Chains A and B, each alone.
Chain A
Amino acid sequence: MRNPAVNGHALLSLKGLAKTFGELAAVNGVDLDIAEGEFFTIVGPSGCGKTTLLRMLAGLETPSAGDIIIRGQRVNELPANKRPTCMVFQSLALFPHRTVGENIEFPLKIRGTEAEKRKKRAHDLMQLLRLPSDYYAKSVLRCSGGERQRVALARALAYDPEILFFDEPLSAIDYKLRKTLEKELKDIHRETGKTFVYITHSLEEAMVMSDRIGVMRGGRLIQVGTPQQIYSAPNSKFVSEFIGDVNILPVTMNSNGKLASPSLDGELIAPRPNGSFTTGYLVIRPEFVRFLSAPQEAQNWAKGQLYNEYALGSRIQYQVRSGEQVFIVEKLRQQAYSGQRDDEVLIGWDSKDSILVED
């Protein structure tokens, strides 16, 4: 996939951006460059400051410190209605007293576009978003959840912004429709070529759609990277736990350079020599853990008991207990493990597939 590298001019630049509410630092010094045409997602748990950050970018909140720069222009003081950006709100914030068409045409009407042009643009956007053209005169209150999403997006696109912001618009939608809309949104991103900045608490959602992801915690961006980097090379326990299942072992580095984990019956080898590391966590994705017949078959191994198995459609997960440590082993369905519950099993993984993190 194309990965717009941020070299030269960033469309959107944040420099030491911060927002404090009284004593509370909601956003605490964010530096970030977003390239033109990029789909950038900011992920974090609720209360991490992501909504405040987005509201500052949209001009709905004034930064306490730092700069917001769009195409080289500092826009800190530019009010929301003058910024070349538009937001799709969590509540969608459609105008309930208006029809679908009137909602979409709102930014054009504000600008004084003539009625014929407005109508044509609204119909073009409805087509782009797969809204039937007879919805033009329909009240938004009579639209379904998914249709309202599309109306909100069409309305934002009608503004013709340089950057579109999304404040978790899919969070209130049921799982199946959400999965469809995630992919649709990525298609719309491709078709329009606009820059999308999306926030969500679901890293899974972020992975599906984004070119790059920034993980936010306590008002700071703690890791920025491609979905692949975030998944396979998390820089902290926090990031690694954020998506899917993961095996996390508390470890300490012995003086002989070996890793030790309390109550683990096995052997651990650090992925690469790391002089400064003393104590932290060893992170291994479940798909990298395999069943062994002898300890020599892998660099890292542990002895345990097969406790349970879970069918996940195309994959199967096994829970293996080794002392107090619970491991998750994941196999494709075609390669299902034949062991029985309570069997003594050996599991292992290669050091290159594990990551050492300090917190």
Chain B
Amino acid sequence: MQLRLGAGEKTAFPVLLFLAVGFAAPLLAVIWYSVMPPRTFAFTGVPTPENYRTIFEGSSYISFLWSLGLAALSVLVLAIICYPVAYALVRVFGPYAMLLTLLFTIPLFVSENIRLYGWVLFFIKNGVLLGTLKSLTGWELQSLLFTRAAVVFGMIYVYIPFMLFPMTLGISMVPSETREAALDLGATRWQVFKEVELPLSMPGVLIGCLLTFVLAVGAIAEAKVLGGQKIIPITHDIEIAFTYAQNWPLGSALAVLLMAVVGTMVILVLRRFDLDLFLGRR
């Protein structure tokens, strides 16, 4: 039998190859590794649920809960602080919106770790914040670093752009005539917001929430740099399994579980909110 390829298949082949090697293969490798016997490095072992059993019998769920909880908290706080900022960027600042957008974007050019170490200098005892306070008022406070609050702060700081920009897009997609129509039909400004603007900007809010949630679940640097050992996120467990513990199959199993949990949540949210319906593609 001869395989005949059309022009479309032929031109798509390089991309397919790239995706297969660069995207699908590592993922499949991780999934396969997660059922290999513990502490082995070979691909050829007999598949076993041993790693998953270890996880469910052990205390990894604490790290899982920390990661999910921290991510959920970050998303919640980000949603609350970003919506007014995004709203102002679209409706209030007008010509200055571009400048503000740049101010939010420029820090992204600096490595996340370096920015987080910047905050260490800011929060550390006798650092920018507490040192200044001490020299001005004589108050000497305990270091704010290595607390859970510092970790949450770090995550919120790092993920602001990923919440802000989808929200900005969502709000700017609400047609001005639709808002005017609501006003013209007797709605107060608050009613216009509640009945029209907020629901119609939900696609942007939702995409922002999903994006920040997925990123925040995978966060590791904030807990390490700003949190000391106060919080051990699941990503930290995965890293330890792959490096210090040299237990690749266990690390893989943890990674697979994390993907499964996050993937399920994303799918559930997307089901609940039909983006197409909002965006009017039907």
**Cβ 8 A contact of B186, one of A87, A89, A94, A110:** A110
Q: Tell whether A159 pairs with B185 under 8 Å between CB atoms, given A96-B280, A139-B277.
A: yes
B184-199 contacts to A (CB < 8 Å): 184-188, 191, 195-196, 199
A62→B182 CA distance, assembly (Å): 18
A107-166 contacts to B (CB < 8 Å): 107, 110-111, 139, 141-142, 155-156, 159
Contact B177 A110, beta carbon cutoff 8 Å: no
A38→B177 CA distance, assembly (Å): 26
Contact B183 A79, beta carbon cutoff 8 Å: yes
Q: Mark B31-55, 1 if CB is under 8 A from A, else 0.
A: 0000000000000000000000000
Q: Tell whether A107 pairs with B280 under 8 Å between CB atoms, given A93-B177, A95-B196.
A: no
Q: For residue A87, which residues in chain B have a CB less than 8 angstroms away from its CB?
A: 180-181, 184
**Closest A-chain residue to B279, C-beta based?**
A96
Contact A59 B184, beta carbon cutoff 8 Å: yes
Q: Tell whether A91 pairs with B200 under 8 Å between CB atoms, given A97-B278, A110-B185.
A: no
**Cβ 8 A contact of A93, one of B181, B277, B282:** B181
Q: For residue A308, which residues in chain B have a CB less than 8 angstroms away from its CB?
A: none
Q: Tell whether A111 pairs with B199 under 8 Å between CB atoms, given A93-B177, A141-B280.
A: no
Interface: B175 (CB within 8 A): yes
Q: For residue A79, which residues in chain B have a CB less than 8 angstroms away from its CB?
A: 183
A97→B180 CA distance, assembly (Å): 16
Q: For residue A86, which residues in chain B have a CB less than 8 angstroms away from its CB?
A: 184-185
Interface residues of A: mostly helix, strand, loop or mixed?
mixed
- A84, chain B: closest CB distance, angstroms: 10
Interface: A80 (CB within 8 A): yes
Interface: B178 (CB within 8 A): yes
Contact B277 A81, beta carbon cutoff 8 Å: no
A139→B282 CA distance, assembly (Å): 10
A106→B194 CA distance, assembly (Å): 13
A81→B184 CA distance, assembly (Å): 5
Interface residues on B, range: 20 to 34
Interface: A58 (CB within 8 A): yes
A80→B184 CA distance, assembly (Å): 5
Q: For residue A177, which residues in chain B have a CB less than 8 angstroms away from its CB?
A: none
Q: For residue B187, which residues in chain A have a CB less than 8 angstroms away from its CB?
A: 81, 106, 110
CB < 8 Å A-B pair total: 71
Contact B184 A110, beta carbon cutoff 8 Å: no
Q: Tell whether A58 pairs with B200 under 8 Å between CB atoms, given A93-B178, A95-B178, A139-B277.
A: no
Contact B175 A81, beta carbon cutoff 8 Å: no
Q: For residue A95, which residues in chain B have a CB less than 8 angstroms away from its CB?
A: 178, 181-182, 195-196, 200
**Closest B-chain residue to A58, C-beta based?**
B184
Contact B282 A142, beta carbon cutoff 8 Å: yes
**Closest A-chain residue to B191, C-beta based?**
A110
A60→B183 CA distance, assembly (Å): 9
Contact A89 B282, beta carbon cutoff 8 Å: no
- A60, chain B: closest CB distance, angstroms: 5
- B280, chain A: closest CB distance, angstroms: 5
**Closest B-chain residue to A79, C-beta based?**
B183
Contact B181 A89, beta carbon cutoff 8 Å: yes
Contact A159 B175, beta carbon cutoff 8 Å: no
Contact B282 A81, beta carbon cutoff 8 Å: no
A91→B183 CA distance, assembly (Å): 15
Q: For residue B200, which residues in chain A have a CB less than 8 angstroms away from its CB?
A: 95-97
Q: For residue A90, which residues in chain B have a CB less than 8 angstroms away from its CB?
A: 177
* Residue among B175, B181, B196, B277 facing the most chain A CB atoms (10 A cut-off): B181
Contact A141 B282, beta carbon cutoff 8 Å: yes
Contact B175 A106, beta carbon cutoff 8 Å: no
Contact A111 B277, beta carbon cutoff 8 Å: no
- B163, chain A: closest CB distance, angstroms: 22
A139→B281 CA distance, assembly (Å): 13
- A161, chain B: closest CB distance, angstroms: 9
Q: Mark B244-282, 1 if CB is under 8 A from A, else 0.
A: 000000000000000000000000000000000110101
Q: For residue B185, which residues in chain A have a CB less than 8 angstroms away from its CB?
A: 81, 86, 106-107, 110, 155-156, 159
A66-85 contacts to B (CB < 8 Å): 79-81, 85
Q: Tell whether A81 pairs with B177 under 8 Å between CB atoms, given A96-B280, A97-B199, A110-B191.
A: no
A213→B97 CA distance, assembly (Å): 43
- B126, chain A: closest CB distance, angstroms: 54
Q: For residue A155, which residues in chain B have a CB less than 8 angstroms away from its CB?
A: 185
Q: For residue A110, which residues in chain B have a CB less than 8 angstroms away from its CB?
A: 185-188, 191, 195
- B177, chain A: closest CB distance, angstroms: 4
Contact B195 A106, beta carbon cutoff 8 Å: yes
Q: For residue A59, which residues in chain B have a CB less than 8 angstroms away from its CB?
A: 184
Q: Tell whether A60 pairs with B195 under 8 Å between CB atoms, given A91-B175, A141-B280, A141-B282.
A: no
Q: Tell whether A81 pairs with B180 under 8 Å between CB atoms, given A97-B199, A97-B200, A97-B278.
A: no
- A46, chain B: closest CB distance, angstroms: 17
**Closest A-chain residue to B189, C-beta based?**
A81
- A170, chain B: closest CB distance, angstroms: 16
Q: For residue B183, which residues in chain A have a CB less than 8 angstroms away from its CB?
A: 60, 79-81
A59→B182 CA distance, assembly (Å): 13
Q: For residue A81, which residues in chain B have a CB less than 8 angstroms away from its CB?
A: 183-188
Interface contacts beyond A86-B184, A87-B180, A97-B277: sample of 4 additional A-B pairs, CB < 8 Å, sorted by A: A81-B186, A89-B177, A96-B278, A106-B187
Please report B residues at the A interface, Cβ cutoff 8 Å: 175, 177-178, 180-188, 191, 195-196, 199-200, 277-278, 280, 282
Task: Name 8 A/B residue pairs within 8 A (Cβ), A-sorted.
Answer: A86-B184, A95-B195, A97-B200, A106-B185, A107-B186, A110-B191, A141-B282, A142-B282
The 8 closest A-B pairs by CB, nearest first: A93-B181, A93-B177, A107-B185, A80-B184, A93-B178, A110-B186, A89-B177, A91-B177
